[in-house]
């Protein structure tokens, strides 16, 4: 039933029976067919960083989990509560790149392209492949190596958001997470890992290679941390600190977390004096894929600019 509904919806958009907005500005969407994490945020961050060498790039996100509505442009007053955790992570990683949130992608694109925020050459849309009310110029689909979309059933039996025929709209399909992409990660003999992401196990496995993972505290994806949970993490840290002091290896433990968890946890006073570090994560792809991916994106942008 779900497949019939989503398939019919896509057909109506494909036949232009349902209208879709075609932006004048180049728009690239990075999405997936599987609900949950596939590496979209680190991929968007990497693409934006690389494209910013040639173009003025802006990022548009839905702002999942925020407590506000409408269009918001990220600035120094933005918080995870007002714009969402992933946009805050992107701002943390890319402070010079314009970032905005809006669940109405058409309105978000129009606001970013209005000139109010300076000249924008192209917009990267973080997620939104299923948002058919906007037709992006180029779509990139991420396929998690650990949860391949072709082996996943449709919702609600599985996690696939739409039939595989939806891949016909994609300009590029990238297999992600075949290998971990940690960048200059902290090394410690005792690591406490805190995660609030969709699939933390590959990250935990990689962290275990750099030291002893003495505890992994898992929270749901996009989790809003409470003061009580922060106090519990603090107690956990001091428990392992005492264990270390009584052992042959007295090195203090290290609290590690992901970027989107860090922007929330670092604001909690209970953790302010603890060694909380975020894990730098590169694009979730093999290094030998990077130039090929960039070349295809450059070809799209230059083709659009040449036609304008």
What is the DSSP code string of 221-242? TT----HHHHHHHHHHHHHHHH
Strands (E), the chain: 27-31, 57-61, 72-73, 99-101, 122-126, 138-144, 172-176, 191-195, 213-218, 254-257, 276-278
> Model-level pTM?
0.87
**Structural tokens at position 9:** 């919806």
Task: Please provide the distance, in angstroms rounded to a whole number, between the alpha carbons at the two ends of the chain.
Answer: 43
Please list the ranges in the chain whose pLDDT falls under 50: none
pLDDT of residue 123: 96
CATH 3.40.50 for domain 2-179+285-307: yes
Among residues 27, 42, 52, the alpha carbon closest in space to that of 86 is found at 42
Give the CA distances from residue 108 to residues 88, 102, 104, in Å, rounded to whole numbers and listed in that order. Answer: 17, 5, 6
pLDDT of residue 181: 56
Rg (CA), the chain: 21
- Helix (H) or strand (E) holding 292, with range, is helix 290-307
- What CATH class is the domain 191-278? alpha beta
Strand partners, 42: none
Among residues 33, 30, 298, the alpha carbon closest in space to that of 139 is found at 30
**For residues 39, 41, 43 and 48, what is the CA-based torsion angle, rounded to 10 degrees?**
180
Q: Could you count the other beta carbons within 10 Å of the beta carbon of residue 5? A: 10
Residue that has been written with the tokens 């290094």 in this structure: 287
The domain segmentation of the chain, as residue ranges, is 2-179+285-307, 191-278
pLDDT of residue 45: 93
Query: Is residue 128 a contact partner of residue 20, using CB atoms and an 8 Å limit?
Result: no
pLDDT of residue 182: 60
C-alpha–C-alpha distance, residues 70 and 84, integer Å? 13
């Amino acid at each position: 039933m779900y497949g019939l509904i989503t398939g019919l919806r896509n057909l109506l958009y494909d036949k232009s029976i349902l209208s879709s907005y075609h932006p004048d500005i180049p728009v690239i969407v990075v999405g997936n067919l599987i609900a949950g994490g596939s590496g979209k945020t680190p991929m968007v961050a990497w693409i934006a960083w690389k494209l910013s060498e040639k173009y003025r790039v802006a990022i548009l996100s839905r702002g999942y989990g925020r407590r506000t509505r409408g269009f918001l442009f990220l600035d120094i007053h933005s918080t995870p509560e007002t714009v969402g955790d992933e946009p805050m992570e992107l701002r943390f990683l890319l402070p010079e790149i314009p970032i905005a949130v809006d669940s109405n992608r058409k309105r978000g694109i129009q606001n970013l392209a209005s000139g109010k925020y300076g000249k924008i050459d192209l917009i990267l849309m973080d997620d939104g492949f299923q948002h058919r009310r906007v037709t992006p110029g180029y779509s990139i689909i991420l396929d998690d190596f650990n949860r391949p979309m072709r082996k996943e059933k449709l919702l609600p039996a599985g996690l696939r958001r739409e039939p595989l025929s939806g891949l016909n709209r994609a300009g590029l399909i990238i297999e992600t997470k075949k290998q971990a992409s940690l960048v200059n990660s902290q090394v410690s003999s005792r690591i406490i890992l805190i995660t609030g992401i969709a699939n933390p196990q590959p990250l935990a496995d990689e962290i275990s290679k750099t030291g002893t993972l003495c505890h992994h505290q898992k929270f749901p994806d996009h989790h809003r941390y409470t003061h009580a949970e922060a106090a519990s993490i603090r107690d956990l840290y001091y428990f392992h600190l005492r264990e270390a002091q009584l052992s042959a290896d007295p090195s203090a433990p290290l609290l590690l977390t992901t970027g989107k968890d860090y922007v929330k946890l670092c604001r909690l006073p209970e953790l302010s004096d603890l060694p909380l570090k975020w894990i730098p994560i590169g694009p979730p792809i093999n290094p030998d894929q990077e130039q090929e991916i960039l070349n295809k994106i450059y070809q799209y942008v230059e083709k659009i600019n040449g036609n304008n």
